[in-house]
Amino acid sequence: MTFRIPGIAGLSAATVLAALLMAGPALADGMAKRGSVKDEPAPSREGWWKDVKFSGHIAAGVTLNPDDPVDRLNFGHLFTDRANEVLLNQFILTLERPLDPKKSSEFQRGFKLQGMYGSDARYTHFLGEFDKVTHDRHQFDVVEAYLSYHLPILTKGGVDVKIGQYVTLEGAEVISAPGNFFYSHSYIFNFGIPFKHTGIMTTTHVSPHLDLYLGVDTGVNTTFGRDGDNNDAIAFHGGIGLNLLKGDLTILATTHIGPELPRSAGVTLGVDPNRDLRYLNDITTVWKINKKLTSTTDLNYIRDDGLKAEGWGIAQYFTYAVNDRWSFGIRGEIWKDRDGAFVAAFPGPLDFLNAQKGLPATVISYGPTTYYAVTLGANYKPPVEKRFEGLVIRPEVRWDWSSDTKPFNAGTEDRQFTAGVDLIFPFTR
């Protein structure tokens, strides 16, 4: 079967898939050959600025769906939701001065600025920031923008403080592509946790084995003002982190509690958008079983009092590093949308954003059910010169199915098969 990709005349998705698989190693070989020429030394930086780092990456890929659904959607996916269409998922640039955990007895200050252009930005916007710059599928977004401080107070490890905009504590997966093993995201990441917050977050290093997180923010994916916050309430975000077995076992238990329904819900649903709470809870356990095998378990529970709905899920990951070039992984997951309120598709470039704001939007949902998915994937890291370390090709195959509804293939099937691949090209300075 041939998959036609809109906007690329004469090319099939299979052709592009093959090109992606071949382009990475070819590009890497070229880099490796150039690596024999010594790089010019970077200009020296003195004082506080010597620890400032600049980096970035480009991530692009395609997800093939042999059913070629008429709505062009891979239901159950968000960031890889476009069937048989090449996406520039992310072009991310980062400027940061991180805090140094080895200097816990000293006062420190740092910052992070991270911006993104790509199709992923449709789902990660801070409300009111760059969210209406373009109506295209590829958009601009501020991922993080915060000041950070380390205060050598209260405990031997001290207290870290973030002030500004930052990604959530919750979940086993993250927005930035190099932080994930798989190209597609889990149901928990897509529908069970927040993405970002605006506020203050403190991390108290109680002991080498225990961290305490306490923060207050404007809510899920929100900022300030009527356009930046969909209601007028604040939220709590925090939890505890355990670091055990000399770092081979980490457990992060977090919660985010606050009203999240837009102001319009007061009229349409007859609820108080500033008082009816949404509880987003997550426990992520990472166990390095040995030098090659890692287990990650993600437990999730969400409840919204305004929607009178709840859902829960579990995702289990195993990854195995065969060598420096190849790693393989499997992810199995269950996510129960008990009231059909959370798992949905957003076909238009601004539908997810408008739904959060309480504006007219197309939202496709198929009611209460339990979703299951199994994903098999690999990471291939070709040989490259040092400044391009992290170049990776991530092929995967994925099966989704539903226990009680037919949400796939434009609402006609209870199961779905997809095959995806992307290329992550990093760079640093």
SS3 content of the chain, % helix, strand, coil (to 5): 15, 45, 40
pLDDT score of 274: 87
Structure tokens at 391: 């170049």
C-alpha 373/C-alpha 74 separation (Å) is 13
pLDDT score of 45: 54
**Within a 10 A sphere around the Cβ of 116, how many other Cβ atoms?**
24
C-alpha 152/C-alpha 404 separation (Å) is 54
- Residue type (1 letter), 338: R
Going along 98-156, which residue ranges are E strands?
A: 108-118, 139-151
113 pairs with which residues across the strands?
A: 95, 145
Rg of the chain (C-alpha set): 22
Question: pLDDT 10s per residue in the chain (429 long)?
Answer: 434 443 333 344 344 334 444 444 443 344 334 433 344 454 445 677 788 999 999 999 999 999 999 999 999 999 999 999 999 999 999 999 999 999 989 999 999 999 999 999 999 999 989 888 888 999 999 999 999 999 999 999 999 999 999 999 999 999 999 999 999 999 999 999 999 999 999 999 999 999 999 999 999 999 998 888 888 899 999 999 999 999 999 999 999 999 999 888 877 777 888 889 999 999 999 999 999 999 999 999 999 999 999 999 999 999 999 999 999 999 999 999 999 999 999 999 999 999 999 899 999 999 999 999 999 999 999 988 877 788 999 999 999 999 999 999 999 999 999 999 999 999 877
Show the domains of the chain with their CATH numbers: 13-34+53-428 (2.40.160.10)
pLDDT score of 144: 97
pLDDT score of 351: 93
pLDDT score of 2: 38
- Is residue 347 classed as helix, strand or coil in its secondary structure? coil
Alpha carbon 301 to chain centroid, angstroms? 18
SS3 of 53-96: the string is EEEEEEEEEEEECCCCCCCCECCCCCCCCEECCCEEEEEEEEEE
C-alpha 97/C-alpha 112 separation (Å) is 6
Say what the pTM is: 0.88
Query: CA dist 104 to 151, 159, 203, Å?
Result: 8, 9, 12
C-alpha 104/C-alpha 107 separation (Å) is 8
Q: Which of 221, 222, 201, 220 is nearest to 212 (CA)?
A: 201
C-alpha 69/C-alpha 417 separation (Å) is 11
Q: What is the dihedral of CA 249, 280, 193, 349, to 10 degrees?
A: -170
- Is residue 147 classed as helix, strand or coil in its secondary structure? strand
pLDDT score of 46: 65
Asked whether the beta carbons of 143 and 129 are under 8 A apart, the reply is no
C-alpha 280/C-alpha 256 separation (Å) is 5
Determine phi and psi for 126, rounding to 5 degrees.
-75, 130
Model pLDDT for residues 2-27, shown as the tens digit of each residue: 344 433 333 443 443 344 444 444 43
List Cβ neighbours of 76 (8 Å cut-off, separation of 6 or more): 187, 190, 343, 371, 373, 400, 407, 408, 416
pLDDT score of 231: 87
Asked whether the beta carbons of 358 and 379 are under 8 A apart, the reply is no
Structure tokens at 373: 């998915």
- Is residue 164 classed as helix, strand or coil in its secondary structure? strand
Asked whether the beta carbons of 425 and 381 are under 8 A apart, the reply is no
Residues of 271-301 as b/e, b for ≥16 C-beta within 10 angstroms?
Answer: bebeebbbebbbbbbbebeeeeebebebbbb
C-alpha 83/C-alpha 409 separation (Å) is 10
What is the DSSP secondary structure assignment for residue 275, as one 8-state letter? T
Token pair 């999730």: residue: 300
Asked whether the beta carbons of 25 and 34 are under 8 A apart, the reply is no
Model pLDDT for residues 82-125, shown as the tens digit of each residue: 999 999 999 999 999 999 999 989 999 999 999 999 999 999 99
Token pair 């020429």: residue: 37
